[in-house]
Amino acid sequence: MNADNIPLGELTDLDKTALDKLAARQDAMLARTIAWSKVNTGSYNTEGLKTFAPMLAEAFAETEAEVELLETQPIESVKATGEVRDFHTGPVLRAVARPDAPNQVVLTGHYDTVFPKGTFTEVTDLGGGKFNGPGLTDMKGGICVMLEALKAFEAGPLKDQLGYRVILTPDEEIGNHASNDAIMAAARTAHIGLTFEPCMEDGSFSGARKGSAVWDVIFQGRSAHAGREPEKGRSALMAAAEFALKIEALTDVREGTTFNIGSIDGGDAVNVVPALCVVRLGARAPDGPSADWAQGEVDRILNEVLKRDGITAHTHGGFYRPPKPRNAAQEKLFGDVAETAKALGIKLNFVDTGGVCEGNNVFAAGTPNIDTLGVRGGRIHSDEEFLMADSLSERAGLAALILHRIAEGRIDAKAIKALMTP
């Protein structure tokens, strides 16, 4: 029977061999993930990121890919003082194998975490196969899953039918501003994208994702003695407050489009009219027109606030990740992956979310993708982050099966990409 005629949810002998290899790698996968977790790679810890990147390069040298570390361009960082500085993050890891193969996949992930240097450093065995530690789930465990799935795939006879590009980034948690070009370039060459963010806590995968924007708005006024001559002052803080209140009132004015004032940095002693204030604002939008509307509303409200005498402002940022809606290509890929998961006794649900990830970037490059192929766990972005250890070999197995089916043609990657709308 040709592979084309085998149901996606049925295991072949090749599948079983790969799954056996991955089951035997379970302890090694856990040990590697824990070791990686102990190296702090907070998004702003350049030293930690540059220490860890060569460790990743050494690990991915276990595949048949050509591995390199790409230096990134600096990105802007707005300080609480309103000062704009360039920030240098770590390198992007790029690994390329068989770029001329008939089927091409891009695999993405990030090695930065949300935890600054010196915070949340311990890995704890909580019992029952559950481990607590920084980045175990988001997403050093996911990187390990990716690596082991590639190795298991390349150990089989189908490798010449599938090539791949791996992109691992140092700045996903702060927007991929330094690494976006590398992601987009790799994604444009691929038929299918696989991103190894953790699945949701109940095991669900993400469906549609909203687009995300971040703005830093720096308001400037004029200081004065608040007791002797307050009339000579122009309060940047009051302008920022007006802006914040009007922005927050926009949430769900257009259905599904939300705004959040994350912080307001400004003010001085109570006897000084504050001359400087920085507002940090985020927004999420379900589709392109909603993102355009959100940007227009931010501009409109800012122009209203700037009618205050003596107040000026300048902004940095905008929509850095476009929306990733459901379309025919995504639905076909979701269905094929769900059928494949049945071979492992896994029932997959795809749930729309306001969260964003590198899957948004891959989609923006015109490539359909699954973006929650990483480990099971929960409480990510907190010091209660935990990993369910058995999901390492389980999710590596699922990824290996997906690679098999793309290489065999049972998942028709070219046909799926052809369903993408312009």
Tokens found for residue 343: 């071979």
Query: How many CB atoms are closer than 10 A to CB 142?
Result: 32
The enclosing H or E element of 353 equals strand 350-353
Give the single-character DSSP code of 234. Answer: B
The vertex-391 CA angle with 387 and 392, nearest 5°, equals 90
Query: Residues 289-328: pLDDT tens digits?
Result: 999 999 999 999 999 999 999 999 999 999 999 999 999 9
392/371 Cα distance (integer angstroms): 16
235/331 Cα distance (integer angstroms): 51
CA-nearest of 201, 125, 124, 202 to 378 is: 201
What integer pLDDT is reported at residue 3 of this predicted model?
61
Provide the residue ranges of all domains of the chain, joining segments of one domain with +: 3-209+324-418, 211-321
315/156 Cα distance (integer angstroms): 52
Domains 3-209+324-418 and 211-321 share a fold: no
Confidence of residue 5 (pLDDT cuts 50, 70, 90): confident
Q: For tokens 């082991």, what's the residue?
A: 148
Task: Taking residues 88-101, report their average pLDDT.
Answer: 97
pLDDT at 104 over 60: yes
DSSP, collapsed to helix, strand or coil, labels residue 357 as coil
26-37 vs 391-408: helix crossing angle, rounded to 10:
110
Under 8 Å between Cβ of 231 and 184: no
Task: Taking residues 8-28, report their average pLDDT.
Answer: 97
Under 8 Å between Cβ of 387 and 123: no
Confidence of residue 4 (pLDDT cuts 50, 70, 90): low
298/142 Cα distance (integer angstroms): 36
Q: What rounded mean pLDDT belongs to the chain?
A: 96
What integer pLDDT is reported at residue 422 of this predicted model?
63
| CATH code of the domain made up of 3-209+324-418 | 3.40.630.10
Q: Round to the nearest angstrom and report the end-to-end CA distance of the chain.
A: 37
How far, rounded to the nearest angstrom, does the alpha carbon of residue 134 sit from its chain's CA centroid? 16
Query: Residues 342-394: pLDDT tens digits?
Result: 999 999 999 999 999 999 999 999 999 999 999 999 999 999 999 999 999 99
Q: CATH topology for 211-321?
A: Alpha-Beta Plaits (3.30.70)
Cα distances (Å, whole numbers) of residue 198 to 88, 91, 184, 407: 27, 22, 21, 24
Question: Beta strand 350-353 with 75-78: parallel, antiparallel or unpaired?
Answer: unpaired
Query: How many CB atoms are closer than 10 A to CB 98?
Result: 17
How far, rounded to the nearest angstrom, does the alpha carbon of residue 213 sit from its chain's CA centroid? 14
170/112 Cα distance (integer angstroms): 5
Under 8 Å between Cβ of 353 and 212: no
CA-nearest of 68, 75, 107, 113 to 91 is: 68
Burial environment of residue 392 by CB neighbours within 10 A (0 to 12, 13 to 18, 19 or more): buried
What integer pLDDT is reported at residue 268 of this predicted model?
82
Residue 184 preceded by cis peptide, ω within 30 = no
41/285 Cα distance (integer angstroms): 29
Confidence of residue 1 (pLDDT cuts 50, 70, 90): very low
Confidence of residue 151 (pLDDT cuts 50, 70, 90): very high
Under 8 Å between Cβ of 96 and 161: no
Beta bridge partners of residue 196, listed in sequence order: 372
CA-nearest of 3, 2, 20 to 155 is: 20
In the chain, the amino acid numbered 194 is L
SS3 breakdown of the chain: % helix, strand, coil, rounded to 5? 35, 25, 35
Query: Residues 152-196: pLDDT tens digits?
Result: 999 999 999 999 999 999 999 999 999 999 999 999 999 999 999
Query: What percentage of the chain has pLDDT greater than the value 90?
Result: 94
Provide the whole-model pTM. 0.94
Helix segments in 189-316, DSSP class H? 236-248, 288-305
Beta bridge partners of residue 219, listed in sequence order: 277, 313
Query: Residues 212-229: pLDDT tens digits?
Result: 999 999 999 999 999 999
82/278 Cα distance (integer angstroms): 6
127/120 Cα distance (integer angstroms): 19
DSSP, collapsed to helix, strand or coil, labels residue 394 as helix
